[in-house]
Each structure stands twice: as C-alpha cells, then as structure tokens.
Amino acid sequence: MTELPVMNKIEEIEVGLSFEILKALQAPFSRKEFLQSVLPTLLRSTGGAFGGLVSQRSGAWAVECWVGEKRPFPSELVGESFDRSGPISANGWVAVALTRSPHRGDTPSEASPASALVLRLSDASGDYESAKNVARIQSAANLLSAALQRVDAHDRNVRRIEQLSAVLRAAAQWQQLDDDEALLQRIADTATKLLHCERASIFLWDRRRKKLIGRPALGVEGKPLEVDDQAGVVGEVLRSGEAKLWNTNSDDDEARVNRSVDQSLEFQTHSLVAVPMSNPSNPVVHAGSITNANAVGRADLIGVFEAINHRSGAFDHLDMAVLSDLALHAAAAIRSMQTRKSLTVSRDRLVNDAASATQLIGNHPSIDQVRKNSQKVAATDLTVLVLGSNGTGKEVLARHIHYESNRRSGPFVAVNCAALVESLLESELFGHEKGSFTDASQTRVGKFELAHGGTLFLDEVGDMSSGGQAKLLRVLEEKVVVRVGGSQTIPVDVRVIAATNQPLEQRIVEKRFREDLFFRLNVVSLTLPSLSKRGDDILLLAEHFLEHFSYQIGRAIPQFDALAKQRMLSHPWPGNVRELRNTMERVCYLCSEDTISAEDLMLGGNAALSSNASRESSFLSNAPETLSDATRIYQVAHIERAIEICRGNMTEAAERLGLHRSNLYRKMRQLGMPTSGE
Ligand SMILES: Nc1ncnc2c1ncn2[C@@H]1O[C@H](COP(=O)(O)OP(=O)(O)OP(=O)(O)O)[C@@H](O)[C@H]1O
C-alpha cells in the first residue's frame, strides 16, 4: 500500500491547508475563485482523488466547483450527511455537510446556500475511510465552511456597496427631471436594471378610493392600472407595512398573487418583490432592513414599489434591500417633484398677477411703437435705456419688458440711483461684506445678486456718482460683482434696464456721465413721450385710473362730462401720467357725483393755490431781483407748502408735485433745503 502524504505528514498538510485558506481570504476573491484556489489543496490534504463542493439549487444537489475527474457523485450520501449533520462515507466516497451559521444581521435566506464537500478517496480499499481520516476531512470541511461564510459575507457587502452607489447615482439623476411621468418611468427603469427583472412599477395609494394606481401607466390602452388596495402581494405590503417576496418555484402560496392583474396586462408573474413607500418626511425605516420590528406605519405609506420576474428565477433579500433603498429615494423624488410643481403653479399665478397689474396702457402710435420695440427687445438679453420725463411710465415700461421676456419668472428689482448717496448706492447695488464699513454689522446681498435670473431696473441712472458709474460699467462688462469690502467675484445673470430723465449726452459733455457707460447702456433705447403728446390716451388713462380707484373704494365709476374731457386734453400735464393718476385718485375721493366736471378736476393747482393766495401776493411784493433767485425762492416755498398740505408725508408731497419721492429729495438738496426725513 502506498503511503500517502495525508497519512504521514498530517499536521504539516493541515497547516498548509489553513495557510492556503488564509491566503485566499486575503485576496479579493469571489466565492467561485476562492473555491477554485482552495479545493485542490483540500483534496490533496484529505487524500481525495477528485471531488468538490455541491450546493442545493432549486431543491436539488448540483456541482458548484469540482476538481479532477468528472464523475457523478452520490447525492443520496450528501442528503444523508445533512440528515446526520456529520460526515458519511461509502464505496470510497465521503460527504460532509457544511455548517451554516448565519452572519449577524443576515436573514435566513441571506445565509450561504446549503453545501457539502464530496470526495472520492484515492484508494477506496485502503484506510482512507477510517474514522481518523473521516474526522480529518470533517475538520477540513469546517475550515472551508468558516472561510466560505467570510467569502459570502464579503461578496454580499461588495454587491450591496455596488447597488447602493448605483441607487445614489440614479437618485441624483432623478432630481434633474421635471416631468412626473418621466420621473416615474426613470425610477421604474432603474429598478428593472438594478434588480435584473422584467418590470417594475410604483403603486401610489389613493386612500379615499381604496385603490392602488400603477405608475408609470401600465394599463391597457394608456389607462392607468388600478387595483384594489387589499389585493395581492402589494395589498399585503400595505396592510403590514413590510416588504414581501414571492417566488413561484419556492413554497410560496400561489393564492397570494393577484392574477387578475396578469390577465388584464397579458403578463405572467413568476416572481415578485414589493416594498412599502413611505412619506419622506417621516423616514421611520432604514431602507434595506425592513423587518417586522420596524415596519412602516400605515399613516406614512404613500404606496408600494414592486419589481416583477427576476431574470434568473427568484428574488432574494438583497433584491428586497435594493428595492427598499430605491423606494426611499423614489418617495423623496416624487415628493420633491410634487412640491416643485405646486410651487411652479403658485409662482406662475403670482407672475401672471404681477404681469397683468403692470399694463402699459395707451393706443397712441408713439406708445404702439414703444410697445412693438419693447416686444422685440424683450426676447433678447440686451441692455435697454428708457428715456422720458418724470412720470411718463419708465418703470412701467421696464416691468412690461421684464414680464414679456423669458426672465418673467425671475425677480424684477428696481433701484433708484438718485435716492442714495454714493457710498450707500454702491453697497445697495453690489452688497457689502460684514465689517467693510462702520455700519456694516452684517453681510448684505446687493441688488445685482438679488436680481440674478431676472431684471434690474436702474432708475435715474443719470444721477449716479462717478464711482458708481465705473463699478456699474465693470459689472455690465464682466457680469460679476464684488461686494464692497470683499474680494470674491460673484457671477450674476441679470438683464439691466436703465432709465433717466436727464439729457445724458449733455451730461457726457459736462463730464458728469461716462461716455463708455452711456454706450454700454444705450444698446437699445426707448423713449416715452410726455403725456400731453399722447392725444386721446389721456382720456384712456384717466378712465383706467378712475375705474381702478373707484373699484378700490367701492364706488360706482363716475363719467367725465365733455368739458372735463376737454380740460384734460388741453392740460400740459407737467407731471405726466403720475400727475394724471394722482388727479384721478383725488377726484375719486373728493367728487361724489356721478359726473365729473372740469372744476372737479382742480387742474392748475386751484385747490392748493387759492388757500395760499395771501402768501403768494406777499412773495410777489417782496420778490428778489434776479430771475434765478426768484425761481429758487418760489420753488422752496412751493415745496414747503406741498409738504405742509401733506402733513409732512414726503411720498404724498412728491406725488402732489408730480415728482418721484427720490427726485423731490434731490431737488430739495439742490435748493439747499433740509432733508432730515430722508
Ligand atoms: N402707460 C401706462 N399705463 C398705465 N399706468 C401708467 C403708464 N405710465 C405710467 N403709469 C403710472 O404712472 C405712475 C408713474 O409711472 P412710473 O413710475 O413708471 O414713471 P417714471 O417715468 O418711472 O417716473 P420717474 O421718472 O419719476 O421715476 C405709476 O403709478 C404708473 O403706474
């Protein structure tokens, strides 16, 4: 009888086997690679001529890895080794069932498959079947079993990491979509791909109707598929809040499946996994670990995510974990899309309201032309310069362009450049960093940043300081802002519409306005004519304002008599549309008659002037010598009187004088009047 190494150098060989197993465990081997590397040594060390590992698949024993001569193995011996939970030998064959102690956290079906080591010994007539050798084979099998569990756990972890990163990648892409049908389709496609199955769908729960609605639409002829919320495996998931598996070739009960759905879709379900989808604001469950202990509460359920027909037969617990991860992200993506949609609807409604409140009223050919040109310019991002006297509607036109442009959903931000001194204007426009000057206790975002994605209206741009002009030019050219006291450049996407009532060309000659900035702003210029040059638009606007104020105070809309109309058409309207608007407001409040006469209009300042007649006559008797002094003194007195009549309300006083509030302050500063209220 030949002496085999296994009989002679047992310890040495066993140590060799252990070493081989340890070495293989260090390498990033899959289960198959591990077996291929270790089984030859194991065979040698146990005196096996050929043999391998057999595992249970679909209820039968099949070879998983074999070394040496390929011969049918005695499967009854394998079954017996399991029954006895120990090694068994017969006719030169030895079978040892490998122990399966589940890993911490594994569900039973996550544990390694039932496997056994099957060996054909080198010399069936020898001592190899001796109790000593069989015990040695048993200890080698134990070593193999422990190592395989490590390898399987590693395999599972690798698969899980791959799946999780695939889920995260997919979820990030879902956030980019803004159509809900496309989103649901993409979610279903991701699940189909990751779970290697034929179909996946989301069933959203309509609690009121006790129905589950399949999305994306699976239904015949494009109709959504609706199922009873109690029926089938999805019904089980809703009732229990737990994930469920069903595989046709296992012992699963056929009655659990809702075959009527198969019939209506002409489909045959042979395996499915379904997991609950819960409200993302109540993430009670850690995805991938849905067990009885932490089932989703019914109140938080929004539906069920289902995958059907695994391409290689059956779904397992890893598939369930992946689908649960997907469900968590899908619920968040669906919720965020719903929120975005409802925000978009509200935003559009607000934008439409704002747009209809900013009507550019007028049919005069000059206004028609402005409207046509503004329509053209609205479609571009060009800078626009709006010219016109005070109150001609420059801001109205700027808003009109904004709401006609594709920036209409973005912000419209207006800044009056004349209202602020140089240092404040810069911080207003470009923002400032905390501590950049004495009063800068907080970082402040400037109007340019606030108008990002929208339109910035720079009113009275002709009054901007030279420092402000230089900075503005830089922003327009470079499309970045630097906050006062900051160094970081902040990109801004803003369309600028500037307006002025100043003759900019003249200010350029006087070196009070930069020529380069003028060219930068004046890419397109639109001029609004004075109201007195707009013919019948005066009446159109008057009726519009009268209707507006009558509605506001809840009175019937009065009519103008013929003389009133004539009076309005012949009035010079120095304060333009603003003056007309104020006149209509006054008439609406003060004249309670159904018909408005020319006197009711109180044009020409009769109302205020008559009560101050004595003051004026004394002014005339003490009139200064030069015309400019006389004009200045008159202007001061006139402004003081307006402020007095309006009891110090500067906005009202400005409107009364046909000026914008900021222009009133500018005028007062020019005249050397105190402007403490500013
Ligand atoms: N075409 C118009 N249709 C409707 N309302 C108008 C029109 N033009 C002006 N208005 C109204 O007149 C008032 C003054 O308009 P706006 O502020 O746009 O004038 P402006 O030229 O910008 O004035 P300022 O030069 O003083 O800044 C506002 O109440 C505005 O609603």
The CATH number that applies at residue 390 is 3.40.50.300
Asked if residue 370 and residue 317 are part of one domain, the reply reads no
Nearest-CA residue for ligand 1 atom 25 is 390
Ligand 1 centre distance from Cα of residue 118 (Å): 95
- Does 384 lie in the same domain as 320? no
Read off the pLDDT of residues 507-558 as tens digits, 9 standing for 90 and up. 899 898 999 999 999 999 999 999 999 999 999 999 999 999 999 989 999 9
The dihedral built from the CA positions of residue 546, 547, 552 and 558, taken in this order, carries a sign that is: positive
Q: Please state whether 535 falls in left (phi above 0), alpha (psi between -120 and 50) or beta.
A: left
Residues 6+ apart with CB under 8 A from 48: 42, 68, 94, 119, 120, 121, 122
CA atoms of 378 and 367, how far apart (whole Å): 16
Question: CB–CB of 234/212 below 8 Å?
Answer: yes
Q: Where is 208: in which H helix or E strand?
A: none
**Rounded distance from Cα 396 to ligand 1 centre (Å):** 5
Distance (angstroms) between ligand 1 centre and the Cα of 392 equals: 5
Domain check: are 144 and 289 in the same one? no
Mean per-residue pLDDT, 84-106: 78
Please report which confidence band the pLDDT of residue 112 belongs to, taking 50, 70 and 90 as the band edges. Answer: low
Mutate which of 395, 461, 544, 650 for ligand 1? The one with the most ligand atoms within 8 Å of its CB, which is 395
Residue 560 belongs to some domain of the structure = no
Kindly state whether residue 376 falls inside one of the protein's structural domains: yes
Same domain, 205 and 281: yes
Residues 6+ apart with CB under 8 A from 645: 608, 653, 656
Average pLDDT rounded to a whole number, residues 181-199: 90
| CA-closest residue to ligand 1 atom 12 | 578
16 within domain boundaries: yes
Q: What percent of the chain has pLDDT over 90?
A: 38
Distance CA 487, CA 472 (A): 16
Mean pLDDT of the region 99-127: 67
For β-strands 384-387 and 489-491, DSSP reports them as unpaired
Q: Is the ipTM of this complex over 0.90?
A: yes
Q: Check residue 223 and give its pLDDT.
A: 67
Whether the bond between 624 and the residue before it is cis, its omega within 30 degrees of 0, is: no
Out of 313, 344, 375, pick the residue that ends a domain.
Answer: 344
pLDDT confidence band for 6 (50 / 70 / 90): very low
Residue 163 in any domain: the answer is no
For Cα atoms 20, 25, 26, give the angle at the middle one, nearest 5 degrees. Answer: 100
Residue written as token pair 């056929």: 254
Residue 495 contacts residue 405 (beta carbons within 8 Å): yes
DSSP 623-638: --SSHHHHHHHHHHHH
- Residues 233 and 306: their CA atoms lie apart, in Å, by 9
Q: Is the dihedral of CA 551, 554, 556, 559 positive or negative?
A: negative
Q: What is the pLDDT of residues 36-78, one digit of tens each?
A: 988 998 888 888 889 999 998 777 899 999 999 998 999 899 9
pTM: 0.63
CATH (domain of 636): 1.10.10.60
Choose the final residue of a domain: 122, 157, 192.
Answer: 157
Pairing of strands 93-97, 115-121: antiparallel
Mutation test of ligand 1: which of 396, 584, 667 has the most ligand atoms closer than 8 Å to its C-beta? 396
Instruction: Report pLDDT digits (tens) over 601-659.
Output: 988 654 444 434 444 444 444 555 677 777 777 888 888 888 877 777 788 888 888 88
Q: Whose CA is nearest to atom 7 of ligand 1?
A: 393
Dihedral sign, Cα of residue 238, residue 242, residue 248, residue 253: negative
Q: Where is pLDDT greater, at 63 or 175?
A: 63
* 400 contacts 360 by C-beta, under 8 angstroms: yes
* Cα dihedral 446, 449, 453, 458 in deg (nearest 10): 30
Question: Is residue 569, in this structure, part of any structural domain at all?
Answer: no
Residue nearest to atom 6 of ligand 1 (CA): 393
Q: Is 1's pLDDT higher than 70? A: no
- Judge whether 566 lies within some domain: no
166 CB-contact burial (10 Å; exposed 0-12 / middle 13-18 / buried 19+): middle
d(CA 433, CA 444): 6
Q: What is the token pair recorded at 140?
A: 């080698």
Instruction: List CB contacts of 95: < 8 A, sequence separation 6 or more.
Output: 73, 74, 77, 78, 80, 81, 87, 88, 89, 116, 117, 118, 119
Task: Using the atom order of ligand 1, give the atom closest to the CA of residue 459.
Answer: 27
Range of the domain at 467: 358-529
Range with lowest mean pLDDT among 7-11, 50-54, 84-88, 188-192: 7-11
- Residues lining ligand 1, Cβ inside 6 A: 359-362, 388, 390-396, 459, 501, 577-578, 581, 660, 663
Q: How many residues does the chain have?
A: 678
What is the SS3 assignment for 245? strand
Do 497 and 623 reside in the same domain of the chain?
A: no
193 and 138 inside one domain: no
Tokens read off for 304: 């069920």
Pair (335, 424) in one structural domain: no
Indicate whether 324 and 192 sit together in one domain.
yes
* Of the candidate ranges 3-17, 155-169, 187-201, 566-580, the one whose mean pLDDT is the lowest: 3-17
Q: Which of 577, 581, 583, 667 for mutating ligand 1's site (highest number of atoms within 8 Å of CB)?
A: 577
The per-residue pLDDT for 2 is: 40
Residue 341 identity (one-letter amino acid)? K
Residue where one domain finishes, among candidates 472, 506, 529: 529
Q: Whose CA is nearest to atom 10 of ligand 1?
A: 393
Q: Do 473 and 332 share a structural domain?
A: no
The rounded mean pLDDT for the chain is: 84
What pLDDT digit, counting tens, does each position of 350-405 carry? 999 988 888 899 999 999 999 999 999 999 999 999 999 989 999 999 999 999 99
Residue 197 CA to ligand 1 center (angstroms) comes to 64
Residue 514 tokens read as 């930069």
Contacts of range 593-599, beta carbons closer than 8 Å, 24 or more positions apart: 593/558, 594/556, 594/558, 594/559, 595/558, 595/559, 595/560, 595/561, 596/546, 596/558, 596/559, 596/560, 596/561, 596/564, 597/561, 597/563, 597/564, 598/561, 598/563, 598/564, 598/566, 598/567
Instruction: Give the count of beta carbons closer than 10 Å to the beta carbon of residue 187.
Output: 27
- Whether residues 193 and 336 share a domain: the answer is yes
Residues 35 and 147 reside in one and the same domain: yes
Total domains present in the chain: 4
Tell me if 547 is assigned to some domain.
no
250/272 same-domain check: yes
Residues 84, 572: Cα–Cα separation, whole Å: 114
pLDDT in tens, 494-505: 999 999 988 888
Instruction: Write down the pLDDT at residue 12.
Output: 64
CATH number for the domain spanning 307: value is 3.30.450.40
Give pLDDT tens digits for 206-249: 999 999 888 775 545 566 788 888 888 989 999 988 999 988 86
Q: Is residue 570 part of a domain?
A: no
Segment 292-316 mean pLDDT: 79
Q: Tell how far the Cα of 660 is from the centroid of ligand 1, in angstroms.
A: 10
DSSP H helical ranges for 381-512: 394-404, 422-430, 447-450, 466-478, 504-509
Lowest mean pLDDT among 81-90, 169-178, 222-231, 649-658: 222-231
